[in-house]
Chain A
Amino acid sequence: MKDQKTDMISSAARSKMNFRTMQRIYVFQIPTRAFHWINVLCVTSLSITGYLIADPPAILHSTEAYTLNWFGFNRYIHFVSGWVFTVNWAFRIIWGFFLGNRWEKWKNFIPTTKARWKEIKNVLLQDILLAENKQHVSIGHNALAGFTYFLLTSIIILLIFTGFGLYIGISDGWVVALLGWPSSWFGNEMFVRFLHHLLMWVILLFAMIHIYLVFFHDSVEGRGEISSIISGWKFIEEKIWRNYIGKGK
């Protein structure tokens, strides 16, 4: 049956249509995908609870304060999410140093070679001027995305430090002390608070553009960009794959 079908298509069309043969490649392993989605949940929860902490809604209640604890609970959710967020990122950073596969390692995120800078330029042209990108040879993240995630990681680290810098006053834990003390360089906690709040907006802006560009690249390139963070598999052109493994054209 199968052979028959293939024959039918090939006889009619294959010679004419120049198929773009794709290789299915396992790019993102389960831990990386789990990290991504845990991070999505944490950022959502942290942004909502954090925004409420910064600007709580006006509620006038007829009962006494001891009957209510919604704001305390909101803070509690923020702290729990913050801990999960921190552990999650600590895991991802370690994973990127020692454990991940070739596309999850940190070297993918820092443009150290000329080829990577060239790809960054090409992806920028593709994203901004809608130019066709024939030089997109990365199999995992493209060079621009990787570099953006590297910058994002720096901001996340700053967010974690400022967050624990604000948490340090109500905890004696050594992890809190370790992550919280750099914030004392800022002199006072008012500035730490301001920075922590501002960085939330940076993350939200990143999330907006990130989600849009994933849709954009998925539809323009047809490599399964969106599904790769669900299934782990990406589709890469046979030609690029052969180049990558050094088997020529």
Chain B
Amino acid sequence: MKYHPFGIVGDLNDKSQSIYEEMKQRGYSRRDFMKFAATMAAFIGLESSGIAQVARAMETKQRPPVIWMHFQECTCCSESFIRSSHPIVADILLDNISLNYTETLQAASGYQAEKSLHDTIKNSFGEYILLIEGSVPMANPGYCMIGGKSAEEILNEVAEGAKAIIAWGSCASNGCVQSAKPNPTKATPIHKIIKNKRIVRVPGCPPIGEVMAGVIVHLLTFERLPELDNQGRPKTFYSRRVHDTCYRRPNYDAGLFVESWDDEGARRGFCLYKMGCRGPVTYNACGITKWNNGTSFPIQSGHGCIGCSEANFWDSGPLYKHMSSFPGFGIESNADKVGLYAAGAATAGIVAHAIATNIRKNKILDSNVQNARDVESEDLDIQ
């Protein structure tokens, strides 16, 4: 077998094999393969005829070369991906999509690893899929430097010949925690550096493994990007709020909220809205796809959503409160407090103004009062 799990030994010019052929060689049955095709078709939201499309693509299309880059990140995206619920997902998509370069999983190092990267870029220019995990540090070229090249230089080099670029996770999509204020490394998401290509953004910290697999399967099956929203996120997975797909939603509409972590409401599974749950402002598939083979998701385990797939979620106030502090008025000040103080000040101002007006009434009203009639005080001869 020419194939090596992490792809550096394999002959890059050998494109004769399809993913199905690879699977057969690895001992998967036709039945396993069809189950995989059905699962993936369901995840990417295809109708039942889509199963055949996925299967056909996997049977006939040559496996595309893949480069998986790591910049500033914690590798939780990789972790999430290799733990996606269907066992074939990791096997197929990590092993069989000829992952030619990935810092975390490759066996090679040093010269060999660099050679593999450059061979892929050279031999498969315009063909390979580029998967990026992590943000790019722009403050200092020394950060994340490999082989004497800064992260930005590496990114620009690999992005040029990529057929498709997918930004995995919140780091690559939005910058995540390292770009939170004050952002010392000037961590920058991919779409702010590569501007001439459409970047598929798959945010989340990490994104759901099945979502990541679904995006890749969509690319392989249809050879085009999935439908994206205005932030570049695949609509299939990011068009609905966690809140609108949450099983606790009836409690929200009923006005039943958890007030503290150990109260009766928490025991009875009330809505976590007042505990700062970010479900109402977070777009993700957690409520539907869930995590760890559909076992659970944060809200199901009793903790509010922290909005990890939204841009700047680290800088949007405390995770257990909805209202962020009001800039310039201290940490505990929120819009309501500032508003109330302003309303109080306005009331005081109005009262003072009204008193002053009445004290100075005669002067202010001078012309009007003199020119108006106050019949009782006038000595008029009216019958």
Contacts and interface: CB of A to CB of B under 8 A. Distances in A.
A170 B244 contact: yes
A56 B364 contact: no
Contact of B336 (A12, A20, A55, A205): A55
Given A59-B257, A170-B244, A201-B338, 16 more contacts: A12-B381, A18-B370, A56-B273, A60-B256, A65-B251, A65-B253, A75-B253, A130-B364, A132-B364, A190-B312, A194-B316, A198-B339, A212-B350, A216-B353, A216-B354, A220-B364
Nearest to B269: A65
Interface of B: 174, 230-231, 240-241, 244, 250-257, 259, 264-265, 270, 273-274, 278, 280-283, 307, 310-313, 316-317, 322-324, 326, 335-336, 338-339, 342-343, 346-347, 350, 353-354, 356-357, 360, 363-368, 370-372, 378, 380-382
Contact of B253 (A69, A187, A191, A192): A69
Q: Is the interface of A mostly helix, strand, loop or mixed?
A: helix
A189 B281 contact: yes
Nearest to A126: B364
Contacts of B312: 187-188, 190-191
B241 A169 contact: yes
B312 to A, nearest CB: 6
Interface residues of A, number: 56
Contacts of B323: 54, 194, 197
A60 B360 contact: no
B231 to A, nearest CB: 6
Chain A CB within 10 Å, residue with most, of B282, B313, B316: B316
Interface in A9-64: 9, 12-13, 17-20, 54-61
A194 to B, nearest CB: 5
A188 B265 CA distance: 29
B240 A197 contact: no
A190 B273 contact: no
B119 to A, nearest CB: 38
Nearest to A169: B241
B382 A8 contact: yes
